[in-house]
Amino acid sequence: MRRPLRAITSGYWLQRSAIIGSHFIGGRLRRRTTIDGQNEMTNKGKERTPLVAVYPGSFDPIHNGHVDVIRRSVAIFDEVIVAVTYNPHKDAALFTGDERVEMIREVIRDLEPRARVDKFTGLSVDYAERIGAKVLIRSLRAVTDFDYELQMAQMNKQMSPGVETVFMFSNPRLFFSSSHLIKEVAGYGKRLPELVPELVIERLRAKLKVR
């Protein structure tokens, strides 16, 4: 019987936890070193297809809660694609799809090529299948998120059985972070360096015409 790979905890509850379907990542494994010097587990003695994960969202704008999930995901998967969802015909976002892609690319530049950014329209599970990704990453900030996310994960599984959903818990320090609240507060001229990358703050202030 194979033993499940235990999630790594570092400073906060289940920081490194990842549940794929109803199974923990496991198997016959050996260690390798990731780009940040941490150990990662890979299949022993055989070649395998790189495990690509998609982290979809509107990211309007990206904040440090998103960045935290991206950095932790890169330590688990071979490639993480931050996928900006947009609708060119009826998009109520503050930033255009291209503006969001540009900001994200600047924020995660140090993680390339393990992480990259793209944009898409339509269903995230269709996008994942189209590019050959096997995993969708979803972040959970609180228990209230779980019911909706579970329903979405089950529907995606029904449509695309080959794509799994991984839930990652947000850093407790960033539980209350949301793009909507950040835009609202920024509109009153407040700077939020603990929650938003500096370059995003500057873009927000310019977009909202705040001095």
Quick one: tokens of 47? 């070649």
Angle subtended at Cα 25 by Cα 21 and Cα 26, rounded to the nearest 5 degrees: 135
Does 90 participate in catalysis according to the annotation?
Answer: yes
Given the residues 3, 32, 46, 90, select the one marked as catalytic: 90
Residues 6+ apart with CB under 8 A from 154: none
Does 205 participate in catalysis according to the annotation?
Answer: no
Given the residues 58, 119, 179, 203, select the one marked as catalytic: 179
Given the residues 58, 63, 66, 183, select the one marked as catalytic: 66
Given the residues 141, 191, 205, 207, select the one marked as catalytic: 141
What string of H, E and C letters represents the secondary structure of 105-169? HHHCHHHCCCEEEEEECCCHHHHHHHHCCCEEEEEECCHHHHHHHHHHHHHHHHHCCCCEEEEEE
Does 89 participate in catalysis according to the annotation?
Answer: no
CA distances from 38 to 41, 109, 210 (A): 10, 19, 41
Does 66 participate in catalysis according to the annotation?
Answer: yes
Are the CB atoms for 79 and 52 separated by under 8 Å? yes
Q: Omega of the bond prior to 50 within 30 degrees of 0, cis?
A: no
Catalytic residue numbers read 66, 90, 141, 179
